[in-house]
Amino acid sequence: MDFENLLYEVQGPMALITINRADKHNAISLATLDELHQAVSAAAADDAVRVITLTGAGGKAFASGSDLNEVLHRDLKKALEPIVQGLADQLERTPKPTIAAIDGICLGGGLEVALGCDLRIATPHSRFGTPEGKLGIIPGGGACARLPRIVGRGWGMEMMLMGNPIDAQRALSIGLITRLVEPEELLPEARRMADHLASFAPFVPRTMKAMVHFGMESSLAGALMFEKYAQGALVQTEDKIEGISAFLEKREPHFKGR
């Protein structure tokens, strides 16, 4: 697929979507957002793709935030539209697992895009922050809701109210990211993660993802009940029989997605 602001490539079971505005520190313009929606939709619809990975070009930024030249002229009507929120929602609700591979600054709207992904990995020189308060606004792409759910109320408040970026080691310690790798290993690590996820029965990662998101938004009783019904559906699949048989026979399973 050809885009003006993105690179799109399918590498085995992984679709790699690269924000390609290195001269702008991968700032997310409205045109870039539109292309990201298209790219994620294409990856979600491709049966060969099992995992969707987002990253930024240039080695200095995942995404520095929304394009401030556009935000400067944004009025109330435009602010109420689900701009970055819409992309984060799409990533969160796409059945396939999503990974944010972060190398460099990840701020504002860029962080909010990463928060919509299921997994976040980063390099040691990466920085994370929500500096919107210093600009006379607040995060509007989902950080107020998602960030405290991921890192807890305390660190969510610290990052949003203070507006100062945190380093990658701190991000790892509070659970904002789960893996820290050197820059040259960032995309290879994402590919290893994608290969690992692709080795599972196809229904498994997408069902786990759905269960976690439902459970975070539901009552405990409702989530536990839904989990049992989801488990009940999976135990009736051919892949369940194959997975257990392969384990007992000490061989690799051959899943068929049914």
Catalytic (active-site) positions: 112, 132
DSSP 3-state of 13: coil
First to last CA, the chain: 30
Which residues 6+ apart lie within 8 Å of 166 measured at CB? Answer: 127, 128, 129, 159, 174, 176
DSSP 3-state of 116: coil
DSSP 3-state of 166: strand
Contact 141, 66 (CB under 8 A): yes
Host H or E run for residue 8: strand 6-11
Q: Which two tokens stand for residue 22?
A: 């290195």
In angstroms, what CA-CA distances link 230 with 37, 216, 218?
A: 29, 16, 15
Q: Which two tokens stand for residue 44?
A: 């979600």
